[in-house]
Amino acid sequence: MKLSTIPKDFIINASSESGGKVISNFLLHALKIENDCDESIILKSICLELIASGEPVKQVIFQDKSLLNTIKEFAVKATWLDKGFGAKLFLGEEGFFNPELYADSMELKPGQQTGIWNEYFIEVYERVLEELIISVNYIENSVDHKEQLTVPLIQYKNKNEYIFPLKGTISTCGNYNSLPEHRQHYSMEFAFDMAQYNEEQKLCFKENMMEEDYIVYGKDVLAIADGEIVDSYHSFAVTTSWDWEKRWPYIQKYGLAAQCGNYIVIRHANEEYSFYGHLIMDSLTVKNGDRVKQGQTIAKVGHTGLSGCPHLHFQLMNGPDFMAARGLPCSFINIKDAAGRKLGLIQEENIIVHAE
């Protein structure tokens, strides 16, 4: 038996403290269970064990009917995770799963596989969680076996100091605590969106609003740190549909721009990369290869690509490829919350921050 995960090496635990406790918050994007034996095997259980300071804290166990239901559901609902735009968007790569080899029962014939994807963990405990131990119990030739894999849980610290990409009082949403939104996608795990309210604290404040009516539309987008422009797109004019069938032709023709609109990727020191999306067409003031300084205006907030209303999509990554890079948490040195308290990492969903 072979166990594989995404991420492959470690999982980022975006932990926080509250009331003397530690809230561990992390995501296993995918687990693949593959029968690489010469004989069929019978799965008995999948155990996901949370570890703090070397001691078990909690177990999540799939067995009996829950295991069978998980396998059957995966075989039906995860057939699109093998290749194409969707596989890369959700898993960061193609070919991790092969639907032609999916099992639909607890018996895995030679070469067959099953799996779990986007398993979320939020655990309140006295100490931070440090490991996820995955154990699969199975029977081969009437003999009980167990395969085990340990995945470290890492508290990621930014390698550079970053400023917020917009100035003023900004509404943020879609961060990692909004579980089914950006976070389920591999590179967007710690992404979030930015918009702006009017004086009445309203995003939409009149009927039939045009994109130019939104407060944030056309606002200067700033480089969060010194760096080099390594990827960009400037000429996409469309706000694409949320209907996949209508969006797909644009993806085939324009690629990432159909999803993110006009965008910029900046490489910073220590191989951290910032991404800015949904920019106004031809508002980019930079091109690939340009060097930029922290705080420099690089574009304007727009409404291109897959966008519900004018806003800035932002994320930090460990590589330049939006479809393959791992999403990273991003802390800022110049933001405060609505009460004037200094913030670093935006850990709450739907909060307003002020950037000097």
pLDDT digits (tens, 9 = 90+) for 32-86: 999 999 999 999 999 999 999 999 999 999 999 999 999 999 999 999 999 999 9
What is the model's pLDDT at position 200?
79
Average pLDDT, the chain: 96
Q: How far apart are CA 124 and CA 336, in angstroms?
A: 26
Domains of the chain as residue ranges with CATH: 2-154 (2.60.40), 168-355 (2.70.70.10)
Residue 325: which of 277, 271, 254, 245 has the closest Cα?
Answer: 271
What percentage of the chain has pLDDT greater than the value 90? Answer: 93
Task: Give every CB contact of residue 218 below 8 A, 6+ residues apart in sequence.
Answer: 212, 280, 283, 300, 301, 302
Which residues pair with residue 221 across a beta bridge? 299
pLDDT digits (tens, 9 = 90+) for 173-216: 999 998 888 999 999 999 999 999 888 788 888 888 999 999 99
What is the model's pLDDT at position 179?
84
Mean pLDDT on 232-258? 96
What is the model's pLDDT at position 204?
86
What is the model's pLDDT at position 180?
84
Residue 294 has pLDDT above 90, yes or no: yes
Decide: 174 and 193 in contact? Cβ < 8 Å: yes
Residue 214: which of 284, 278, 298 has the closest Cα?
Answer: 278
Global pTM reads 0.95
Mean pLDDT on 265-270? 98
What percentage of the chain has pLDDT greater than the value 70? Answer: 100
What is the model's pLDDT at position 80?
95
Mean pLDDT on 269-275? 98
Mean pLDDT on 95-105? 98
What is the model's pLDDT at position 255?
95
